[in-house]
Amino acid sequence: MFYVISYDVVDDARRNRISETLLDYGQRVQYSVFECILEDDLAEKMVARLKETIEPAEDRVRIYPLCATCRGRIKWFGTEGPSDEPKVVII
């Protein structure tokens, strides 16, 4: 499944941990936006790690799963389009 993850995290240290976590699963496409291609079990691990990191009263993380049809309809402008393959492999 293709996911778009965005976040708005108040604390610098937490924001860095969120970013580092997401780099384990996908690639940054904007400062606080990542794209990930993940199997269900890996997506669940990512969500668990993110939930452990944020402060729910202050931070926001949004995860948008996109089906193949929706992913094919993504529009972009600039240098890179959506990820075709995961650039990170977790073993």
What integer pLDDT is reported at residue 85 of this predicted model?
56
Q: How far is CA 45 from the centre of its chain?
A: 12
What string of pLDDT tens digits covers the 91 residues of the chain?
999 999 999 999 999 999 999 999 999 999 999 999 999 999 999 999 999 999 999 999 999 999 888 887 877 777 666 556 555 545 4
What integer pLDDT is reported at residue 35 of this predicted model?
93
Closest by Cα among 27, 40, 32 to 84: 27
One-letter amino acid for residue 75 of the chain: K
One-letter amino acid for residue 27 of the chain: Q
Reported CATH class of domain 2-72: alpha beta
